């Protein structure tokens, strides 16, 4: 079996390509990144077709105002440019074609016409469900959700319908697709892994109880609820570390819940995250919507119990009551209860830490993901 992978951006595509390469199943990787970035993931240059000019343009755009970087028209332009270029270079295709949703419509059509089994990767919930949940959240705070460009939305729905399979990372995402009428038989469900070489427990340098969030500080990530919960708990000798870029929409909450114990770490490089996780006691992700946030297995590999919502994909990897806790979205009282419990009972926290480490090492590596995904692709190809 040979697999062609096509991705605008990175996501977990380079980890997937590396796992396919290790099993002699990678045919090609079409990417918008320059090869030096891909090389860090162990993918051999002979497999990589780089549309690097898009990466250069994207990096230049990051220096623009926040509104320009996140403009729907800009995102549509990049998606269509990549799709057109990836389709043009698809002179041959493996037995299986895997393309990321939103930016591989024409490429998927071409791969399908060439006889490949076609799989679309969707890392978040079904587009319609995602829009519904996030629109509701923004309206809750008197804001308008900056919806995906209507053409990207339609491209997403079309690619779901055209593909032979949709690959998803969690039960939460699976439920969202089934609710939108996509048959469960069309869904490939394999949770993501993490790098146990990059994420591992390091010595904690003090005894301060810390809760850590890692990811953008946005309404989608539920940071507004985490800020409120930690502020109202007002725990002695405790800190909340927020790692990630601050979006304008979250600024009012930062001002409302100002505290010397709430520390903003800003964006951090991947190489720094393992140490940051290890200086903390609990990882908390209060997200309103996402497929399977990969910061969760990263935190577990560093020995942190994980408090997560039903809409993070955490239920697939965090054993409730063993490695952490699952709570409803928007539930500040539940957040406070679980944080306080782990604060008051350090012995339980240590046991959960050990459980999380064990779960990460035994079930959450990229190699484990690779075994599962290749087996699933083979089954799809045989069918």
Identify the CATH number of the domain in which residue 344 sits: 3.40.50.2000
- pTM to 2 decimals? 0.94
- Same domain? 143 vs 218: no
**The predicted structure's pLDDT at residue 67:** 47
Instruction: Quote the distance between the C-alpha of residue 176 and its chain's center.
Output: 16
Residue 156 is assigned to a structural domain of this protein: yes
Residue 39 is assigned to a structural domain of this protein: yes
pLDDT at residue 12 greater than cutoff 80 = yes
The range of the structural domain enclosing residue 297 comes to 209-363
What average pLDDT is seen over the chain?
A: 95
- Same domain? 260 vs 340: yes
Tell me if residue 212 falls in helix, strand or coil: strand
Q: What is the total residue count of the chain?
A: 383
Residue 264 is assigned to a structural domain of this protein: yes
Which of 50-64, 227-241, 284-298, 364-378 is predicted with the least confidence, judged by mean pLDDT? Answer: 50-64
Residue 127 is assigned to a structural domain of this protein: yes
**The predicted structure's pLDDT at residue 148:** 82
Residue 199 is assigned to a structural domain of this protein: no
- Same domain? 7 vs 98: yes
- Same domain? 221 vs 170: no
- Same domain? 225 vs 252: yes
pLDDT at residue 75 greater than cutoff 80 = yes
**Pairwise CA distance, residues 279 & 114, whole Å:** 51
Average pLDDT over residues 58-73: 66
Average pLDDT over residues 200-211: 97
The kind and range of the H/E element at 68 are helix 66-69
pLDDT at residue 68 greater than cutoff 90 = no
Rg (C-alpha) for the chain, rounded Å, is 21
- Tens of pLDDT, residues 169-194: 999 999 999 999 999 999 999 999 99
**The predicted structure's pLDDT at residue 70:** 59
**Pairwise CA distance, residues 280 & 285, whole Å:** 14
- Same domain? 46 vs 127: yes
pLDDT at residue 86 greater than cutoff 70 = yes
Residue 303 is assigned to a structural domain of this protein: yes
pLDDT at residue 63 greater than cutoff 90 = no
Nearest to 317 by CA among 212, 308, 342, 167: 308
- Tens of pLDDT, residues 25-51: 999 999 999 999 999 999 999 999 999
- What Cα–Cα distance (Å) separates residue 224 from each residue in 138, 167, 246, 291? 12, 31, 12, 20
């Amino acid at each position: 079996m040979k697999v062609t992978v096509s991705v605008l951006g990175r996501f977990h595509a380079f980890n997937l390509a590396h796992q396919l390469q290790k099993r002699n199943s990678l045919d090609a990787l079409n990417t918008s990144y320059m090869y030096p970035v891909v090389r860090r993931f162990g993918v051999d240059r002979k497999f990589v077709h780089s549309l690097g000019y898009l990466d250069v343009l994207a990096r230049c755009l990051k220096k623009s105002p926040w509104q320009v970087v996140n403009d729907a028209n800009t995102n549509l332009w990049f998606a269509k440019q990549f799709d057109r270029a990836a389709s043009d270079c698809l002179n041959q295709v493996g037995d299986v074609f895997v393309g990321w949703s939103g930016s591989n419509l024409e490429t998927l059509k071409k791969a399908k016409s060439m006889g490949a089994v076609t799989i679309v990767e969707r890392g978040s919930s079904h587009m319609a469900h995602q829009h519904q949940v996030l629109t509701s959240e923004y309206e809750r705070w008197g804001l308008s959700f900056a919806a995906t460009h209507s053409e990207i939305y339609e491209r997403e729905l079309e690619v779901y319908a055209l593909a032979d399979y949709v690959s998803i990372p969690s039960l939460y995402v699976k439920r969202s697709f089934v609710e939108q009428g996509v048959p469960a038989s069309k869904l490939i469900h394999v949770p993501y892994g993490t790098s146990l070489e990059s994420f591992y427990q390091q010595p904690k340098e003090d005894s301060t109880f810390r809760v850590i969030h890692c990811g953008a500080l946005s309404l989608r990530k539920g940071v507004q609820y985490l800020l409120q919960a930690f502020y109202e708990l007002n725990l002695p000798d405790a800190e909340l570390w927020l790692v990630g870029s601050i979006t304008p929409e979250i600024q009012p909450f930062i001002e409302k819940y100002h505290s010397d114990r709430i520390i903003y770490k800003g964006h951090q490089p991947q190489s720094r995250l393992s140490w940051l996780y290890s200086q903390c006691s609990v990882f908390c992700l209060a997200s309103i919507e996402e497929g399977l946030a990969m910061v969760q297995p990263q935190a577990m590999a560093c020995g942190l119990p994980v408090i997560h919502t039903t809409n993070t994909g955490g239920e697939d990897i965090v054993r409730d009551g063993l490695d952490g806790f699952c709570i409803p979205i928007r539930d500040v009282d539940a957040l406070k209860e679980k944080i306080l419990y782990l604060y008051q009972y350090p012995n339980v926290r240590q046991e959960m830490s050990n459980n999380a480490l064990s779960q990460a090492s035994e079930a959450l590596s990229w190699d484990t993901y690779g075994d599962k995904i290749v087996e699933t692709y083979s089954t799809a190809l045989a069918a």
